[in-house]
Chain A
Amino acid sequence: MSTATEPSAATSAARQLGMRVALRGGGSLIAYVALIAGGLVYTFPILYMLRTSLTPVGLLFADPPVIIPWPPYWQNYVEMWNEGLFPQWIRNSLQITSVSVVAETTTSTLVAFGFARTTFRGRDKLFYIVLATMMLPSTVTLIPQYLLYHALGWVNTFLPLIVPRFFGTPFYIFILRQFFLTLPKELDDAAEMDGASRLQIFHRIVVPLSGPAIATVAVFSFMNRWNDFMEPVIYLMTPDKLTLSVGLRWFTGRHGTEYHLLMAGALVMTAPMIVAFFLAQKHFIRGIALTGIKG
Chain B
Amino acid sequence: MTAVPRSPVAPLADAAESMGQPVARRSRKPFVQRLEGWLFISPWLFGFVFFLAGPYLASMVLAFMRWDMGSTISFVGLRNFEYLFLEDDLFRRSLLNTLYYSVFHVPGVIILGFSVAGLLNLNVRGIAVYRTMFYLPSVTAGVGMAVIWVWLLAPNGIINAVLKLVGIAGPNWLIDQRWAMPGLILMSFWSIGTTMVLFLAGLQGVPQQLYEAVEVDGGGWLARVRHVTVPMMTPYIFLSLVLNVIGSFQVFTSALVMTSGGPDNATLFVLLHIYNNAWGSFRMGYASAMAWTLVVVVLTLTVMQFQIARRWVYYEYRDRA
Q: How far is the CA of A165 from the CA of B134 in the complex (A)?
A: 31
Within 8 A of A (CB), among B1-42: 1-2, 4-10, 25, 27-28, 32-41
Known: A113-B40, A137-B249, A143-B62. A273 touches B144 (CB 8 A): yes
Answer whether residue B133 sits at the interface, using C-beta atoms and an 8 A cutoff. yes
Q: Which residues does chain A contribute within 8 Å of B122, judged by CB atoms?
A: 19-20, 22, 28, 31, 35
Answer whether residue A140 sits at the interface, using C-beta atoms and an 8 A cutoff. yes
Residues of B in contact, count (CB < 8 Å): 111
Output the least CB separation between B2 and chain A (Å).
6
Total A-B Cβ pairs within 8 A: 302
Secondary structure type dominating chain B contacts: helix
**Are B43 and A148 in contact, with the CB atoms below 8 A?**
no
Q: Which residues does chain A contribute within 8 Å of B294, judged by CB atoms?
A: 137, 139
Residue with the greatest number of chain A CB neighbours at <10 A, chosen from B28, B41, B141: B41
Q: Which residues does chain B contribute within 8 Å of A198, judged by CB atoms?
A: 33, 36-37, 40
Identify the closest chain B residue to A243 (Cβ): B143
Q: Which residues does chain B contribute within 8 Å of A1, judged by CB atoms?
A: 208
Q: Which residues does chain B contribute within 8 Å of A119, judged by CB atoms?
A: 33-34, 37
A residues bordering B, Cβ < 8 Å?
1-5, 18-20, 22-24, 27-28, 31-32, 34-36, 38-40, 42-43, 45-46, 48-49, 52, 61, 65, 107, 110-111, 113-115, 118-121, 123, 126, 129-130, 133, 135-148, 150, 164, 166-168, 170, 173, 191-202, 204-205, 223, 227-230, 233-234, 245-246, 248-249, 252, 256-257, 259, 262-263, 265-266, 269-270, 273-274, 277-278, 281, 285, 288-289, 292-294
Q: List 19 A-B contacts (CB under 8 A).
A: A42-B136, A111-B40, A111-B41, A118-B36, A120-B38, A137-B249, A139-B294, A140-B56, A140-B291, A144-B55, A145-B55, A195-B7, A196-B5, A197-B36, A198-B40, A229-B252, A229-B257, A259-B157, A292-B201
B residues bordering A, Cβ < 8 Å?
1-2, 4-10, 25, 27-28, 32-41, 43-48, 51-52, 54-56, 58-59, 62, 69, 116, 119-125, 128-137, 139-145, 147-152, 154, 156-158, 161, 190, 194, 197-198, 200-202, 205, 208, 212, 215-216, 220-221, 235-236, 239, 246, 249-250, 252-253, 256-257, 271, 274-275, 278-279, 284, 287-288, 291-292, 294-295, 298, 302
